[in-house]
Amino acid sequence: MPGLLGLSGIAGAPEPGSLLAPLFRPPPEFVGRLSTHPSPLQFRDGTRVATAADWPRRRAEILREWHELMGPWPAVIDRPAVDVLSTAHRENLLQQRVRVEIAPGQTGEGWLLKPPGNGPFPAVLVVYYEPETSVGLNPKQTLRDFGLQLAQRGFVTLSIGTPGGNAWKPEIGDARCQPLSFHAYVAANCWHALANLPEVDDARIGIVGHSYGGKWALFAAAFWDRFACVAVSDPGVMFDETRPNVNYWEPWYLGLDPVRPRPRAGVPSDENPRTGAYRQMVALGHDLHELHALIAPRPFLVSGGAEDPPARWLALNHAVALNRLLGFTNRVALSRRPDHAPTEESNAQIRAFFEHFLRPGS
């Protein structure tokens, strides 16, 4: 795994600055406390990960279990086609409308923003319902323009939207995996699209998303370890059936079930039970802290709002403990805002996170 000993873009990163440093420290009431979920440091046979040398074997076990539950990916496309549809200058940036090969026989349109100069630049993949919001071309969705904000600070950014255009009925082609896993697969192909650009440093490619895009980014970073770091904005980083918007149970995420489809959307109940891979995951005791573990030791920021309050530290501390075992500190961060929507402050924290770990200009 490229990230296990620290990717070249982030190994030896200096101590985080004043804006970022507090985010790596849980509030006193959560320091050292773990949720009751099974530890990701415990093998299925009950033995423990005792040293860093044990971790790759346990990581492979987690990865295998999740892919078995969600279904296999198609082959990752090493050199996806990227067609430039239009080019314009925007402020000091080069803005290109592009069509990207996101899966076999499937393309998606997005926006590629490039800073001035020859690079090599760090890059960030930005995932959301549609790409216009991510580059500031949707005035109805403010403070979600991560692609534009990061490009203005020296990153190449690729902003893409839902495969097929409908987040509630994503187009997964002939793939035999759950839709959210397919989203992660699409992100892996888009990682290659960025990595193949001559002005991009392929060791310094991150991923970010808000809400639905945060779920997408979380799964992408967990299942494609070439992403050097990940920031997720209030997606719900654990299964939580007390929060209707943390809706991994829906068929457009992990609940797709052609045999026994859900009667209607909404929180699972006796009349509207869990379905698909989500039903199996809950029955077997799996939860998203295992994905946090797959991300380690790559840097992971949860920009928390209504769905990811400070109590999420209880689950995130499992990843903190794993990073400590692997010899890393300051790799798991949680920020806090009262509401779901991003704010100027939370956006500044996300920018600082990528600037700290991917270091434009280095």
pLDDT-based confidence at 5, cuts 50/70/90? Answer: very low
Q: Render pLDDT for 28-43 as a digit per residue (tens, 0 to 9).
A: 999 999 999 999 999 9
Band of the pLDDT at 15, cuts 50, 70, 90?
confident
Q: What is the pLDDT of residue 17?
A: 87
| pLDDT score for 16 | 87
5 or 326, higher pLDDT: 326
* Percentage with pLDDT > 70 across the chain: 96
Checking if the pLDDT of 27 tops 90, the result is yes
- Average predicted confidence (pLDDT) for the chain: 96
| Closest CA relative to residue 217, chosen from 179, 187, 182 | 187
Does the CA dihedral 149-150-153-156 come out positive or negative?
Answer: negative
Q: Among residues of the chain, what percentage have pLDDT more than 90? A: 94
- The tokens for 184 are 């992660």
- Model pLDDT, residue 2: 43
Q: Which burial class, exposed, middle or buried, applies to 277 when counting CB atoms under 10 A from its CB (0-12, 13-18, 19+)?
A: buried
Strand 93-103 and strand 82-90: pairing?
A: antiparallel
Q: What is the rounded (10 degree) CA torsion for 47, 50, 56, 60?
A: 20
CB atoms within 10 A of CB 329: 11
Res 3: pLDDT: 41
What's the rounded mean pLDDT across residues 39-68?
98
118 phi/psi in degrees, rounded to 5: -100, -10
Q: Residue 10: pLDDT band by 50, 70, 90 thresholds?
A: low
pLDDT above 50 for 90:
yes
Q: What is the pLDDT of residue 8?
A: 41
Give the separation between CA 252 and CA 261, rounded to whole angstroms.
11
> Domains (ranges, CATH) in the chain?
21-238+287-358 (3.40.50.1820)
- The pLDDT of residue 360: 78
Quickly tell me which residue has 């799964």 as its tokens.
Answer: 219
Say how far residue 289 (Cα) sits from the centre of its chain: 13
CA atoms in the 13 A half-sphere facing the CB of 52: 13
Answer for the pair 156, 119: CB distance below 8 angstroms, yes or no: yes
Q: What are phi and psi of 58, to 5 degrees?
A: -70, -40
Phi/psi for 210 (5° steps) reads -110, 135
pLDDT, one tens digit per residue, over 107-126 is 999 999 999 999 999 999 99
pLDDT of residue 288 exceeding 80? yes
